[in-house]
Amino acid sequence: MNRAVPSTSLRQPNCTCQGSRVFILKDHLPKDRYDDIVKRRAEEYRKHHIRTSSSLNRLVFAPSNSPLQYPIQGFTVVPLQKTLIPGLALHAAKRQSYKVTLSVSSGVLAIMALGEGDKEGQVEKEITVQSTSLSDLNNLLGRITYTSTVYRMRTGDLAHFTFEHHEAVFPIVIQQTSMPVLYDIGNDINYRVTVVTKTFLRYTELQVLISSIRTYYKDIKIIIADDSLEPQKVNGPNIEQYIMPPAQGWFAGRNLAVSQVTTKYFLWVDDDFLFTDKTKIENLVEVMEATPELDVVGGSVAGHGQFYFSLVYEEGNGEDGGCLNRKGAVKYQPVPGFPTCSFTSGVVNLFLGRTDAVRKVGFDPRLKRVAHSEFFVDGLGSLLVASCSHVSIDHQPKIENAKYSSFRHQQSKDVEDKLAHHFFKNHLKCIHYG
């Protein structure tokens, strides 16, 4: 029989991280809890696969020279809702009789009635249609409906369609319809972008930042997440300051600030940045509006240059985990229409984010001080990122702040905790920083 067989025998090989800065993550786990952590990670990974796997992930090979016609892409049904299967037909030479069979596993099939007096065919997981007339058979195939019997937000089914020694397999996407979320961007930058920052014990730098923003954007909204030990009121028009419990950390503050954005985009800046005449928010908006697939566009920070990096993830095997390679200064290809912008995996702390897309990824509040790349690690595969050299911001001169430094420089423990967190959360075996 000429079959289109779903391949289930492809196993992910083990992976390795190579280079001088490689971290084997299991070596950073607490020794007294090592076995328990590994066991719990394995169970969580099993549940992750149940949640994310689908029959549509299976590799399917199309049959050659098949007389069967069927949908190969784009057939989507709402869970539990009856839907006609489009495009089913048989193209065969003259025979005394024609017989085809259609079967599914996550739904049921029926032949839809033509008129009020007709009865719908019996609901089955497998249905056979036979006729001495090819035209009549194709008319019946055009009335076959599919109804899923599972309720999920997104899953799928594989339909097997056979005639004599020919068999084809085609996908059925089972997906709940989602509604669009649209933002009215108005006629000026104040309706399009909110400036967002996080501050901790650096009110002098924060006030300099705000003053520089107001030099170029006098009415734009500024949102501040503040987890200082003794918060001070930040005054000024169109400023929203959200006070957090003390020392909750950078990513917790990012989450809070972004959660309050009501514009389509937000511009993330550090609290010790300085706007200049090259900090043109409109230029980043132009890139995003012209490239609707983009989710994050970064600029450059004076004194640090245009910082961007690539992330390459290998899934590895289910027991040891995957491998992540992070490499600096890697661009993939130019953004169409913008020669100073290129697609990449992650960017510097000056970036314009699409609000709804960034919220879906979020910032892991477990990471307090040693974090930035980790947001782009979590967004790998869902966020499209670019870096542009024609928009930049300055960095303020460093001010000695002993209390701030005492928190900021607790890095050795933070790094250890972060690596152990990657081991479990991201199911990683190793990370290479290049």
Contact 326, 431 (CB under 8 A): yes
Q: Return d(Cα 359, Cα 237) in angstroms, integer.
A: 26
Nearest to 348, CA basis, from 294, 306, 395, 396? 306
For residue range 113-155, list pLDDT tens digits in order. Answer: 876 656 676 789 999 999 999 999 999 999 999 999 999 988 9
The model's pTM is: 0.89
Amino acid at the residue 189: I
Exposure of 123 by Cβ count < 10 A (0-12 exposed, 13-18 middle, 19+ buried)?
middle
Length of the chain: 434
Residue 230's closest CA among 245, 241, 208? 245
Distance between CA 428 and CA 406 in Å, rounded?
31
Distance CA 85, CA 141 (A): 8
Pairing of β 351-354 and β 296-301: antiparallel
Q: β-pairing, 385-395 with 338-344?
A: antiparallel
How many other C-beta atoms can be found within 10 angstroms of the C-beta atom of residue 297?
29
- At 425 the pLDDT is 96
**Residues 6+ positions from 109 with CB-CB distance below 8 Å:** 102, 103, 123, 124, 125, 126, 127, 144, 145, 146, 147
Contact, 145 vs 84, CB < 8 A? yes
Question: 3-state class of 426 per DSSP?
Answer: coil
* 329: its two tokens: 């200064």
For 40-54, give one letter per residue: b (16+ CB within 10 A) or e. ebeeeeeeeeeeeeb
Question: Shortest CA distance to 194 belongs to which of 379, 421, 398, 353?
Answer: 353
Q: Beta-carbon neighbour count of residue 248 at 10 Å?
A: 17
Cα→Cα distances 231→226, 375, 415, Å: 7, 27, 27
Decide if 314 contacts 322 (C-beta within 8 A).
yes
Contact 150, 174 (CB under 8 A): yes
Per-residue burial over 4-24, b = 16 or more CB atoms within 10 Å of its CB, e = otherwise: bebeeeeeeeebebeeeeebe
pLDDT in tens for each of the 434 residues of the chain? 555 555 444 457 899 998 889 999 999 999 999 999 999 999 999 998 888 888 787 777 888 889 999 999 999 999 999 999 999 999 999 999 999 999 999 999 999 987 665 667 678 999 999 999 999 999 999 999 999 999 998 899 999 999 999 999 999 999 999 998 899 998 899 999 999 999 999 999 999 999 999 999 999 999 999 999 999 999 999 999 999 999 999 899 999 999 999 999 999 999 999 999 999 999 999 999 999 999 999 999 986 777 899 999 999 988 999 999 999 999 999 999 999 999 999 998 999 999 999 999 999 999 888 788 999 999 999 999 999 999 999 999 988 887 777 666 666 778 899 999 999 999 999 999 99
DSSP lists the bridge partners of residue 173 as 76, 156
β-pair partners for 360: none
The single residue listed with the structure tokens 């390679």 is 325
Tokens 């983009």, residue?
294
Neighbours of 431 (CB within 10 A): 23
The answer to whether residues 430 and 419 touch, using CB atoms and an 8 Å cutoff, is no
Q: Evaluate the CA torsion angle 395, 401, 405, 407 in order and state its sign.
A: negative
Closest C-alpha to 248, from 237, 261, 257, 239: 257
